[in-house]
Structure 1
Amino acid sequence: MCDISNLIYVCVSTCIMLIVVSVCVYSQAAYLQKGGLKTAVLERRHVLGGAAVSEEIIPGFHFSRCSYLLSLLRPHIFRDLELKKHGLKLYMRDPHAFTPMLEGGVGGLPPRSLLLGSDLAMNQREIGKFSETDAKAYPEFITHLDKLAVAIHPLLDSPPVDIAGLTGGALRRRIAALRSALPLVQCGLKLGKNIPDFYEIITAPIMKILNRWFESEPLKATLATDAVIGAMTSPNSPGSGYVLLHHVMGELEKEKGAWGYVEGGMGGVSKAIASSARSHGADIFTEQDVHQVLVGSDGSAKGVVLKDGTEIYSRVVLSNATPYVTFKTLTPQSALSPAFIKAVDQIDYTSPVTKINGTTLIISTLDPHKCIQVHIPHTHSLTHSHSSFSLPYRPMIEMTIPSVLDPTLAPPGSHVVLLFTQFTPYSLVGGRAWTDQDREAFADSVFSWIEQYAPGFKSSIVGKDILTPPDLERIFGLTGGNIFHGAMSLDQLYLARPLPSLSDYRSPIKGLYLCGSGSHPGGGVMGSPGWNAALAAMADLKRG
């Protein structure tokens, strides 16, 4: 037994791509340590970072094994924790999207492609190859989308409105609840006359919006990809517009909507934040598998017990695990009401994602600088029957080759290839579990599709790591393999994330908080769920 901290973070290694994992935890540890609280972080795996990790799965090759791009990390967290001082180095992704076509070009020319980057004039020239009308509309569309994305920034760095406080309780609580509505007011003021447009994009199918703006399929398919990333949905489904907005609301190096790569892989983010936390005195422990949250006779959290039986006492426990793992695995069921447990069971964790990490020799059939981010979407692949248990005939593929920019990832003459694919179910036809043969067959189909665009690609692969939804769950603690700790659907956002009773990060167990991507504002290497949970925990500790 030991009593080592005021506050414990439980990291069950959760999350991928555009999701905070232990990043939330390490940033909280730094903030709370700075605030005078002794903190300890308990990481289940041997490597820091949950799903924002770098791993040498194949000797000499370093993979961003799950999450692989950075953009959503909140600027104030980046600054406050002095991440560059603690070793974070970035490579900007520019151009940011290359969409090759299989169809023959005009007049016997080679197949066309669409290349998009930070140069607006270049983008218009590229789009003009398919539609001059779309080329003219594109700048206005980007400006419009940026206005909507920037307007919701006040909502990211604060908890949702305290509805219970506004509608009941003492006068003091009602006044505090009024303050909680301020970010919502700020959002509304920023939106102004764009409020109807904002309502539409968070509720409508993204194709309804894209069809109004554009006519060319290559452009619409490229843009629609970000509306289904990580979601078991199609661009024709209501709410897919918000998924797109979620993916464009970040910034990197003060460039709005920009994405980039971290030197050494995404583990560089986790290491930098952990270094910042340690510099303020936080303790971080790996290979410490938490078995259960300790709940006292008064119904409040008292610490945790590890799998080896060690009990660690603490005034507060913050769980970065998914809500399901937190309340169905780590919390004694006798401490929770049957109604609450039933509600937790209803949270949607459906995921379409399989991540394939590969090693390859130099690819000569494609310009490697265009391979920094390759989209191979198609109307069929984006609208695949996502309720099906069958594997997609033509998967949606987002391919990145970060070693083009970062030579630390692979030996000279070789590259790491990261393939983010959809739509793969958790269980196959008949509820059958994935086998190694299924994994190999799916990876082979993905490589075969890329081969059509880049002859020689398939034979260049010399090693691979295939992570299906069950693998993401088993290795990284992602319930259902969901990279966002729960679907980013309209019924699981803001006041309802992950449940209406949990939207303020506080659980039914006093002193136990949620701090992962299952909480508002959701998935992505963002830090906001952790920041907001830290504020809630500190406020409660001050009140006693």
Structure 2
Amino acid sequence: MTGAVWTRQGSRVIQSIQNASSRRSHTALKSEYDVLVIGGGHNGLVAAAYLQKGGLQTAVLERRHVLGGAAVTEELFPGFHFSRCSYLLSLFRPHIYEDLELKKHGLKIYRRNPHAFSPMLEDGVGGAPPRSLTLGSDMVLNRKEIGKFSQKDAMAYGEFNAYLDKLASAAQPLLDAPPVDIIGLTSGSLRTRITAAKTLMPLVKCGLKLGKNIPDFYEIVTAPIMKILNQWFESEPLKATLATDAVIGAMTSPYNPGSGYVLLHHVMGELEKEKGSWGYVEGGMGGVSNAIASSARSHGASIFTEKDVQEILVGPDGVAKGVVLKDGSEIHSKLVLSNATPYVTFKKLTPQASLSPEFIKAIDQFDYTSPVTKINVAVDKLPNFLAAPSPDGKPGPHHQCSIHLNCESVEVLETAYKESINGKYSTRPMLEMTIPSVLDPTLAPPGAHVVSFFTQFTPYYLEGKEWTDQDKEAYADLVFDWVEQYAPGFKSSVVGRDILTPPDLERIFGLTGGVRCDLVLCGGRDFNG
């Protein structure tokens, strides 16, 4: 297969093959339901499963030919199955996993350990390979790895992790709680205020659990991550590796306020009761959506693909009463839920006359700026990194990690960010590379692999203009040139690539602005959700 490079262009596009469980329901679409859910993304499917389980006749209407929204698996090239957008699972609320019996419905997770690998671009000393930093759950090995760069940092890392865990644990009561009812608390009758006061309880629990750590919590959710990392560490490779988790998916700098929260966000989740764990889903991220859909169907929910909603029907009383499809069909319901972004829901689907000017203004103020271009790659052999050679071609522990390239120093990340805010793509982009087929052999033919690149920073408009196919190919070539420096031979192993800039993510998946697409939150990082 070497040399026969496939792209997602023109007549060579390979149609996505749907998983059997994501195909169109055999049940005919009725004219009325209790609840309609617009969009078959993972959050919409979770809502449908719970509503149907609660006795409400629920239908899901998905625009695309395949379920899952951003949590989707597609066969882009023959035999290669990709998590085309979101590619890692965490922050998956345990009660959803249990309530919907997702293991019974086919969900299988491969947990990764170690979880981070940052190779350096440098000459080896005395014939040794270049240095690298590998981090996982074994603190003894972590100290050994960090000690290559700083013994002081090696000793501080365990305490830093404990510090993050303490803050993340205190935030747990907030993850499943509704937002505080500010309007109810500040206006209305006494009864309304008393009812609204109950929404403060999770916040109170969080505060009580934090205790004397409240100032630390406030700092990490508001400060630039570099303010915090500089307090703890001195070595650039460690700070840069941690800083990637503070900016990934966000058009921000490690020196910008708020980036500290993004890092904390990464340790809040859990997989199968292991806190802070991240993993791959067997069969790709569509396996999450398909398991949820299977659970919803087992309770009687109706799920349809290729049903494109054109408008939400709103009655004279301002209450949603159904939808109109692009083919003109009307479907009525007592309740309408939208799994689309707020922008799509309220600016494109909802009649503007039914919304107040103040509300529309608030929707317009949402910031959907995305820095991400996702590149999915089919390769005929495993990448071989200079910093961790695999002469026999077999996977090493580092191959299952999030592989951080161009992360030798925080300054490299900062330079990449500054180029993008000036309307250009980064000439040395921050790259997070994953190879899920190392743990999940169902994704690629024997000996071959699927590789995912979550790259930034790339603007929505390139120097004020729309991306052309030539721009996209040039950017992917740049990314591959950088990968080649870390893993010589990578470019010759490529047999196909799929390039998704922010406008592509918006057009294909309905993700306004491209939004971040690195993971899945059921019940609530993102694609963004």
- TM normalised by structure 2 equals 0.89
Q: Is 1:335 aligned to residue 354 of structure 2? A: yes
Cα shift at 1:107: 4.6
CA distance in 2, matches of 1:32, 1:340: 27
How do 1:102-251 residues align onto structure 2 when only pairs under 5 Å count?
102-107=121-126, 109-251=128-270
User: Where does residue 413 of structure 1 map in the other structure?
Assistant: 447
CA distance in 1, matches of 2:413, 2:462: 19
Per the alignment, do residues 356 and 138 of structure 1 end up closer, same or farther by CA in structure 2, a change over 3 Å counting?
A: same
Q: State the secondary structure of the residue aligned to 1:5.
A: strand
User: Where does residue 506 of structure 2 map in the other structure?
Assistant: 473
Cα shift at 1:524: 4.7
Paired letter, 1:526: L
Q: State the secondary structure of the residue aligned to 1:318.
A: strand
- TM normalised by structure 1 equals 0.86
Q: Is 1:482 aligned to residue 515 of structure 2? A: yes
CA distance in 2, matches of 1:444, 1:320: 35
Cα distance per residue 1:161-206 (max 9 Å; x no partner): 1122222223332222121111001111111111000000011100
Q: State the secondary structure of the residue aligned to 1:375.
A: strand
User: Where does residue 501 of structure 1 map in the other structure?
Assistant: none
Q: State the secondary structure of the residue aligned to 1:6.
A: strand
- Equivalent residue pairs, number: 482
Cα distance per residue 1:320-368 (max 9 Å; x no partner): 1111101110001111223322221121111100000000011362343
CA distance in 2, matches of 1:445, 1:128: 32
Cα shift at 1:455: 0.5
User: Where does residue 26 of structure 2 map in the other structure?
Assistant: none
Cα distance per residue 1:119-146 (max 9 Å; x no partner): 1111111001111100100000001001
CA distance in 1, matches of 2:346, 2:384: 50
Cα distance per residue 1:78-98 (max 9 Å; x no partner): 111111000001101111011
Cα shift at 1:527: 2.0
Gaps of 5+ in 1: 14-21, 485-522, 531-544
Q: Is 1:442 aligned to residue 475 of structure 2? A: yes
Cα shift at 1:108: 5.0
User: Where does residue 83 of structure 1 map in the other structure?
Assistant: 102
For 1:374, which of 372, 382, 403 is the aligned residue?
Answer: 403
**Does structure 2 conserve the Cα–Cα contact (< 8 Å) formed by 1:2 and 1:313?**
no
User: Where does residue 6 of structure 2 map in the other structure?
Assistant: none
User: Where does residue 508 of structure 1 map in the other structure?
Assistant: none
User: Where does residue 32 of structure 2 map in the other structure?
Assistant: 4
CA distance in 2, matches of 1:160, 1:272: 28
CA distance in 2, matches of 1:464, 1:410: 14
Cα distance per residue 1:369-428 (max 9 Å; x no partner): 312221112434421204121111100000000001101000001100000000000001
CA distance in 2, matches of 1:212, 1:107: 34
CA distance in 1, matches of 2:168, 2:246: 14
How do 1:321-470 residues align onto structure 2 when only pairs under 5 Å count?
321-363=340-382, 365-366=384-385, 367=390, 368-369=395-396, 370-372=398-400, 373-376=402-405, 377-378=407-408, 379-383=410-414, 384=416, 385=418, 386-429=420-463, 431-470=464-503
Q: Is 1:65 aligned to residue 84 of structure 2? A: yes
RMSD: 1.5
Gaps of 5+ in 2: 1-28
**Does structure 1 conserve the Cα–Cα contact (< 8 Å) formed by 2:87 and 2:519?**
no
Q: State the secondary structure of the residue aligned to 2:92.
A: coil
Cα shift at 1:2: 4.9
Cα distance per residue 1:432-473 (max 9 Å; x no partner): 110111111100110110100111011111100000000000
Identity of aligned residues (%): 71
Cα shift at 1:529: 2.7
When structure 1 is superposed on structure 2, of 373-382 and 117-126 the one drifting more is 373-382
**Does structure 2 conserve the Cα–Cα contact (< 8 Å) formed by 1:380 and 1:394?**
no
**Does structure 2 conserve the Cα–Cα contact (< 8 Å) formed by 1:2 and 1:311?**
no
Q: State the secondary structure of the residue aligned to 1:529.
A: coil
Cα shift at 1:297: 1.5
CA distance in 2, matches of 1:167, 1:226: 37
Q: State the secondary structure of the residue aligned to 1:525.
A: strand
Q: State the secondary structure of the residue aligned to 1:281.
A: coil
**Does structure 1 conserve the Cα–Cα contact (< 8 Å) formed by 2:88 and 2:519?**
no
For 1:526, which of 509, 521, 525 is the aligned residue?
Answer: 521
Cα shift at 1:26: 1.1
